[in-house]
Amino acid sequence: MTRQAPLLLVLLAACGVGTTVDDAVIGWPEVVAGSCDPTDPSVCALPWPSSHFLVADESSGTGVRLGLAADTLPITYDDIQVDPFFWNERDGFSINSAAITYLEDRDLSGTITVDDIGAYLQADAKTVILDAETGERHPHWVELDTTTEDEGQQVVILRPAKPYEWGRRYVVALRGGIGKSSPAFAALRDDTQSDLVPDVRRTHYEDNIFPVLEEAGIDRSGLVLAWDFVTASREGTLGRQEWILQDMEAWYAEGPDLGVQIEADADKDCSKDGENIFRDIRGSFNVPLYMQFDQPEDPLVKGPEALLTRDAKGQPFRNGTSRADFVARIPCSVAQGLDGSSGPFAAPVLQYGHGLLGDKGEARTGWLARMADTYGFVIFAMDWTGFMEDDVPGITFMLASANGDDTNPSHFAIIPERSMQGMMEQVLGLRVMREVLSKDPLLAVGSTPVVDPGKGYYLGNSQGGILGAALLAMSPDLERGVLGVVGGPYSLLLPRSKDFDPFFAIFRNKLVDHRETMLFVVGLTQQLWDPTEPGGWMWDLARDATKPKRTLMQVAIYDNQVTTLGAHYMARAYDAKIGTNAVRDVWGVEAVDLGGEGYEGDALVEWEFSWLPDEPLITAPPGSKEALPAGWKEPDGLDVDPHECPRRQQQAQQQAWTFLTTGKVVDTCGPGGCVSDTCGTPGL
C-alpha cells in the first residue's frame, strides 16, 4: 500500500465541533519527546495511553493527534516493525482505553477489584483516574493480566467502568506501594536531574500532571507512577462512518438501479408438524462501495487492500458499487394468520444480526423460526461485511503474515474499516427491505403483501448484539433493539473470550514479549475498533442522542464468549436498569420494578444457569482451566458455556418481543429472577 503522510480526518461540518484541549495551557510539542516513554521502560509504548505520544495539530478536533514514532510499536518475530500509520490518524485516544503498565515488585493487594468498583472513591484508593477538567474521579478497577503464567510479563490494567468523555484530558496515578517506580519517574516525582527525562516531559509533568493530582489531594511524594492522556474527539472517531452513511443516503435518494435479484424456494406445507416457515427467500442488490476495491476472487488479498478509500485529505470516497446478499423468511403465522386461518397479513420486519465471523444463514436457525412463527414477524438478514465467514482468511493472513511490505499486523485496520462498509450495508439493507423488497411478489402471499414497511426492529446475538449496538445508534430506521449476549468494548471482551483463543495464539507467536501482545490486544486495537463497536457509539445511543434509541440486553452469567462485564459497561453508559428481582446487583446500574406495565427505557436482564459455578473475575474465559474451580466437572448434557442459552428461553423471547413492539421491559421470570436449569425451553 502506498503510504501517505499521517493525516487526521476532521469532519467539523458534518459532525459538529469537538472539545479542544487548550494548547496554550498544555503546550503540546510539535514532535514526540522520544520513541519510548521512559516512565515505563519495560515495553516502548507503555504506559498506554500516554500524552508522551501526542503532538500538536491545530486542524484536529482536539488540537492534538497521535505521533507514534516509526520504532515505537512492537517488532514481530519476523523482524517486522508495526507501522503506526493508522493509529497516527487519530486525534487522541479511545474513550474506552484501558490504562496499561508494567510494574516491578508489584503488590496489588488492596487495589480496586471488579466486584468492588465503588472503592474508586475512597480517599486512599491506590489507583486514581482523574478528569483533569472537572477533578472528578473516573470509576475503574484494577486487574493483573492472567493470560500468561510468566509473572515477569504480566501487565497491570486499569479498566474504566464506563466510557470517558470525548476530547478530555485524564490523569492516571498509582500509589500506596503498588510497585516500584522507574528511575525516570522517580526523577520526575522527586524533581531530580536525570538524562532519562526530556525537558519537554518534565515541564509537562510540573505544569499539567502534578498540579492536577495535588489539587485532588494526592501527594506526589507517594506516587509510584503517574501519566496523562487525551481522549479523541467524536468527529475524529466517528466522522468517517457518519460521512459514509450520509453519502449512502444521498446515493439512495437519487434512485439508483439497485439491480435486485430475488428468488425463493418452493413454499412449505405449514400443516406439517413442526413446520414454522412458509417461504424462504434469498437475493442480492447493489450497494455503494467505499473500499479500495470490491470483493477479490482470492480472499487472502483482502489483507492489504480491504481498507477504506482515502482522498488527499484522508476522506473516504465512493468507489463504484458492490453487491450485498440477503435472506428473508416468511413464517407460517404471517402467511396464514396468527390464528392459523385468518389469512396473510403485513407483519413487522425483524432485522437479525449473525454471530462472530458467521453469515446470514444463522437466520435459518430453528429457535428463530419458531419465535417468528409464534409472534408473527418476517425475518431479514444479511452477511456482516468485515465480520463474516468470508473475512476469516484475510484476517488470519494479516495477523500471521511475515510479509513486511504488504500484509502484517500493521494493517489491523482492515477489520474495522471493512466493518464500516458492513455497517453502511446493514443500514441500507433494512431500508431496501422495507421500501423496495416489500413490494416484490415473493414477499406477498396471494395479493397480500406480508411486510409492513412502517415497522422494523432489530435482534442480534453475540457479534450481532455487539455490532448491533452500534447499528442501532447510527440507523435512522431503528428505534429499538434486543441485544443478546452482548458486551463492549472489544478490548475488555477479547481476553475473556474463548472465541479469541485462536487469534490470541497467533499474537503470542508473532510478538516477542507478551506485554506487547497485551499492548496490541487491549491497547492498540481499541483505537481502531471504536467506529463500529458499542464503545464508540455508547454516548450517541442514549445520552447524547437527539432521539434516544432503546435497548434490551439479555445476557448469560458465566458466558465464555462475551463476558457480562461488557454488558455492565454498556448498561452504565446507557443508564440502563435491572429488575429489582435480578439474580445479582450490578454496580452502577439502578434496580427498578419491572412488574405491572413494565419499565420503558434501556434495560439489562441477566440469566443465571444453575449448573454453573460462580463467575470468575480473572482475565480469562470462565470455562478455561485457569478460571474453573478445582475439581469442577461439567454435568452430563450441559455445557460449561451458556452463550447460546438466553435466546432459547421462552421467557426471554416473550420479553424481547414485548419490548420490540411496545418499548416496555416486563418481568417474564417472576420472583428470584431469570434462573434456568436447562439451556432452553424444550422445542426452542
Q: Show Cβ contacts of residue 210 under 8 Å, excluding neighbours closer than 6 positions.
A: 220, 226
- Asked if pLDDT for residue 498 goes beyond 70, the answer is yes
Span 78-123, pLDDT tens digits: 898 999 999 999 999 999 999 999 999 999 999 999 999 999 999 9
Tell me what pLDDT residue 399 has. 82
Q: Give the pLDDT band of residue 620 (cuts 50, 70, 90).
A: confident
pLDDT at 494 over 90: yes
pLDDT of residue 233 exceeding 70, the answer is: yes
pLDDT at 240: 97
591 CB-near residues (< 8 Å, 6+ apart)? 577, 578, 579, 580, 582, 585
Say what the pLDDT of residue 306 is: 76
Q: What is the structure's pLDDT at 402?
A: 67
Distance, in Å, from the CA atom of 555 to the CA atom of 571, rounded to the nearest integer, reads: 12
Phi, psi of 663 (to 5 degrees): 85, 5
Which are the contacts of 565, defined by CB distance < 8 A and separation ≥ 6?
A: 114, 487, 492, 496
Residue 320 has pLDDT above 90, yes or no: yes
pLDDT digits (tens, 9 = 90+) for 134-168: 999 999 999 999 999 899 999 999 999 999 999 99
Residue 51 cell numbers, joined = 500524552
Q: What is the pLDDT of residue 392?
A: 83
pLDDT on residue 26: 86
The CA–CA distances, whole Å, from 24 to 52, 56, 579 equal 17, 11, 48
pLDDT in tens, 290-301: 998 765 555 444
**pLDDT exceeds 60 at position 249:** yes
For the chain, report the end-to-end CA distance as a whole number of angstroms: 49
d(CA 123, CA 415): 42
470: confidence class by pLDDT, cuts 50, 70, 90: very high
The confidence band for 391, taking pLDDT boundaries of 50, 70 and 90, is: confident
> Mean pLDDT lowest for which of 137-141, 408-412, 559-563?
408-412
pLDDT on residue 14: 34
- Mean pLDDT on 224-241: 97
Tell me 201's DSSP state. Answer: H
* pLDDT given for residue 9 in this prediction: 36
Amino acid 357: pLDDT: 86
- The mean of the pLDDT values for the chain is 92
Reduce the DSSP state of residue 183 to 3 states and report it.
helix
Average pLDDT over residues 206-213: 98
Q: How confident is the model at residue 5 (pLDDT cuts 50, 70, 90)?
A: very low
Reported pTM:
0.94
Q: What is the mean pLDDT of the segment spanning 270-299? A: 87
Instruction: Look at residue 415 in the predicted model and tell me its pLDDT.
Output: 92
pLDDT reading at 1 higher than 90: no
Q: How far is CA 76 from CA 402, 412, 513, in A?
A: 9, 14, 9
pLDDT: which is higher, 213 or 410 = 213
DSSP single-letter state for residue 264: E
